[in-house]
Amino acid sequence: MQKSACSSIVEVKSGSRTRARSLRSYVERYAPARTVRLIGGQGAPSESDGNLVWPLYYTQFLREL
């Protein structure tokens, strides 16, 4: 049995400056099904419309997507 090919776009940001437009521009141009932004701050993970925002220590869960 073969899994379907699905990729997730991952952006890594350090600290609290997470307003860069690189991921947003990519989403507008290519419309991926899912994106993940890893940020250096603490906090609980969040999601909206397939766009995940995770703290860096959640990197261990990327394979499970």
State the average pLDDT over residues 43-61. 86
Query: In the chain, what is the straight-line distance between the N-terminal and C-terminal CA atoms, in Å?
Result: 18
Which pLDDT score is estimated for 17?
62
Which pLDDT score is estimated for 4?
52
pTM over 0.75: no
Classify each residue of 5-39 as buried b or exposed e, where b means 16 or more C-beta atoms within 10 Å of its C-beta. Answer: eeeeebbebeeeeeeeeebeeeeeeeeeeebbbbb
Encoded amino acid at 21, one letter: R
State the average pLDDT over residues 2-24. 71
Encoded amino acid at 2, one letter: Q
